[in-house]
A and B are shown apart, each in its own frame.
Chain A
Amino acid sequence: MKTFTYERAKSPAEAAAAAARIKGARFIAGGTNLLDLMKLEIETPAHLIDVNGLALDKIEVAKDGGLRIGALVRNTDLAAHENVRRDYPLLSRALLAGASGQLRNKATTAGNLLQRTRCAYFYDTNLPCNKRTPGSGCSALEGISRQHAVIGSSNACIATHPSDMAVAMRALDAVVETVRPNGAARQIPIAKFHRLPGDTPHIETTLQSGELITAVTLPKPVGGTQLYYKVRDRASYAFALVSVALIQQKDGSGRVALGGVAHKPWRVESAERALPRGAKAVTDGLLADAKPTPDNAFKLKLVEGTLSAVLAHAREMHK
């Protein structure tokens, strides 16, 4: 691990200002992803700003009936919160499908959104990776790409976003609240938060330099049947091959978001109109522009099959 200086932040605005001012500064909260990457020297911050003392760990009902989730709320606490279990069960389910109990106790809401890919080539510092070393090339394109993206990828990067929580947040139309280095607050709809790789896969979100996430807000509960199915190589503690988040109302309308298929949580609102016609129609719309590799073409059928199972489960619950 490279050496770094360390400070405990005093306020969100001061933290953001310091992050913009100090070269090589990074925020650290749970640390479960950043510290792992620092040990491998994939991340080499010169300065760490510990934001854990910033009192951003509350969950509050907002004026509009929605929920305001502090950036530092731990994944365990968010999944177990009474309002989340009752009103946003999709979010509880997605959180509980991710990581291990130990990691969920540390991992934060903001940190979960900012997780970096688990692409094996990103982790292997002996091989080229445009995300790790811009311009060096993508080893996954010619490599083993079973886990990789099938849609929205580019010739520079076919990595996926690893988060389960973010898939639920996308289906729930979450909004990311931030503070910028000049002290100004900003709201970023989750749909505009994560970027596709394009030719700059090392830039993963629309956050600006030094910008600090302070909260994630959810609109007032939308009800319906909410289900999260995650398909992976073992029954627990593994990243998704594909995951499907479904919110479906009794009239058959609803929302679908996918994990494990793209560089960000994947949702195509126009495809959701096909929900009454079943899994194939929705999948055709969601993955119309898919460009899978020979290794991961199976994900297209896996999405359709998983969505079909989720819709059957929802029908049972609607009876």
Chain B
Amino acid sequence: MHDMDDELNRRELLQFAAAAAAASALPFSADAAEPSGTAAPVMSKVTFEINGKTHSLELDTRTTLLDALRDHLHFTGTKKGCDHGQCGACTVIAGGRRINSCLSLAVMHEGDRITTIEGLGTPDKMHPMQAAFVKHDGYQCGYCTPGQICSAVAVLAEIKAGIPSHVSADLLSTPQATNAELRERMSGNICRCGAYSNIAEAIAEVAGAARSAA
């Protein structure tokens, strides 16, 4: 595990590098001699709530929710993997539902309440799902982990709400948090380190705790 100072230093360095890259790119984007078909950015205002706090932004209409979170609001816990809705690293919970934030325009979230990994818990006060991932070693490199955890929290809510899955044997009975159900429901979150069995154990533990508390 990194200690906190190392993590912050690394993050600051990355932000500095990104800012430098953007600055050096400015002469090109400001130049009139752009390829045909490109036009000046169209800006649009949007206001939404992230982790309980309201944010108003004026964004290029092309900005995805993912880029708004990471680049404009610096909620860098949410990760960009494939940027095409195939890997699940960008999973956040919008209006109580997990979505791929890379496949959603920020301006389409006017008035929405969005929860990112930062809103689930903190290092000092982890969400039970975060604690279970730590306990069961549900990661190696950790890049997919925020998306996995946001997805897992929503999966248990979907099971509780009675939403069936592809592997539910009976569409009319209440689904259970079995290993097969959890694996099917988590299939939109890819882990290239292959921590799947530990991820499934972590989710099963939280599901079991929720069941016995109910």
A103 touches B62 (CB 8 A): no
The answer on a CB contact under 8 Å between B99 and A106 is yes
Which B residues lie within 8 Å of A20 (CB)?
A: none
Task: Name the residue of chain A whose CB is nearest to the CB of B171.
Answer: A85
A6-B107 contact in complex given A96-B164, A102-B91, A237-B187, C-beta closer than 8 Å: yes
Chain A residue with minimal CB distance to B83? A39
Q: Which of A30-38, A176-184, A195-203, A294-302 contacts B (4 or more CB under 8 A)?
A: A30-38
A5 contacts partner chain B, Cβ-Cβ < 8 Å? yes
**Is there a chain B Cβ closer than 8 Å to A221's Cβ?**
no
- Please name the residue on chain A nearest to B61 by beta carbon: A6
For residue A26, give the distance in angstroms from its CB to the closest CB of chain B: 12
| Chain A residue at minimum C-beta to C-beta distance from B172 | A85
Complex interface: chain A residues within 8 A of B162 (CB): 80
Within 8 A of B (CB), among A97-147: 97, 99-103, 105-106
Report Cα–Cα, A112/B1, bound state, in Å. Answer: 43
Establish whether residues A102 and B105, one from each chain, have CB atoms under 8 Å apart when the complex forms: no
Task: Tell me how far the C-beta of A316 lies from the nearest C-beta in chain B, rounded to whole angstroms.
Answer: 13
Question: In the complex, which of the residues A35, A101, A105, A106 has the most CB atoms of chain B within 10 Å of its own CB atom?
Answer: A101
State in angstroms the CA–CA spacing of A48 and B185 once bound together: 32
User: Bound complex: CA of A6 vs CA of B44, how far in Å?
Assistant: 8
B88 touching A35, Cβ below 8 Å: no
In the complex, per-residue mask of B144-185: 1 if CB is within 8 Å of any chain A CB, else 0: 000000010011001001111110100110000000000111
A160 in contact (CB, < 8 A):
no
- A-contacting 9-mer, from B9-17, B33-41, B47-55, B68-76: B33-41
Annotate A74-95 by CB proximity to B: 1 below 8 A, 0 otherwise.
0010011000011001001100
| Interchain CB contact under 8 A, A31 and B62 | no
Let me know if A155 is at the binding interface, CB within 8 A: no
Given A2-B38, A4-B42, A105-B99; A76-B104 close (CB under 8 Å) = no
Central interface residue in A2, A52, A86, A105, by most chain B CB within 10 Å: A105
B47 to chain A, nearest CB (A): 13
| Partner pick for A36 among B38, B84, B97, B184, CB 8 A cutoff | B84
Whether B100 sits at the interface, judged by CB under 8 Å, is yes
Within 8 A of B (CB), among A48-92: 48, 50, 52, 76, 79-80, 85-86, 89, 92
Majority secondary structure of chain A interface residues (helix, strand, loop or mixed):
mixed
- Whether A3 is near chain B, meaning CB under 8 Å from some CB there, is yes
Q: Which residues of B contact A48 (CB under 8 A)?
A: 61, 105
Q: Which chain A residues in 1-48 approach chain B with CB under 8 Å?
A: 1-6, 8, 28, 31-32, 35-36, 39, 44, 48
Residues of A within 8 Å of B163, CB to CB, are: 76, 79-80
The residue that B105 contacts in the complex, of A31, A85, A100, with Cβ under 8 A, is: A31
Are B171 and A36 within 8 A (Cβ)? no
Given A3-B38, A3-B39, A237 and B188 touching (CB < 8 A)? yes
Across the interface, do A35 and B171 meet the contact criterion of CB distance under 8 Å?
Answer: no
Indicate if A206 sits at the interface (CB-CB under 8 A).
no
Q: How far is the CA of A79 from the CA of B166 in the complex (A)?
A: 10
Known: A35-B64, A85-B172, A101-B98. A28 touches B108 (CB 8 A): yes
B38–A96 contact, CB under 8 A?
no
A236 interface hit (Cβ, 8 Å): yes
A8: chain B residues at CB < 8 Å are 110
CB distance from A192 to the nearest CB of B (A): 30
Please report the C-alpha to C-alpha distance between residue A48 and residue B149 in the assembled complex, in whole angstroms. 32
Asked if B164 and A105 sit within 8 Å, CB to CB, the answer is no
Q: Are B105 and A79 in contact (CB under 8 A)?
A: no
- B188 contacts A103, C-beta separation under 8 Å: yes
Q: Which residues of A contact B97 (CB under 8 A)?
A: 76, 105
Alpha-carbon distance between A80 and B185 when the two chains are bound, in angstroms = 14
Is B19 close to A, CB under 8 A? Answer: no
B103 and A31 contacting across the interface, CB-CB below 8 Å: yes
Given A36-B84, A102-B88, A105-B97: A5 in contact with B61 (beta carbons within 8 A): yes
Chain A to chain B contacts (Cβ below 8 Å), 24 pairs: A3-B39, A3-B41, A3-B62, A5-B61, A6-B42, A28-B105, A35-B105, A36-B85, A48-B61, A48-B105, A92-B171, A100-B88, A101-B98, A101-B151, A101-B158, A102-B85, A102-B88, A103-B85, A103-B100, A106-B103, A106-B104, A235-B184, A235-B187, A236-B187
Known contacts A102-B91, A237-B188; 6 further A-B pairs (Cβ under 8 A): A3-B40, A48-B61, A93-B166, A96-B166, A102-B100, A106-B99
Binding site for A on B (CB under 8 A): 37-42, 44, 60-62, 64, 83-85, 88, 91, 97-100, 103-105, 107-108, 110, 151, 154-155, 158, 161-166, 168, 171-172, 183-189
CB-CB nearest 7 A-B residue pairs: A100-B188, A236-B187, A237-B187, A85-B171, A105-B97, A80-B163, A96-B166
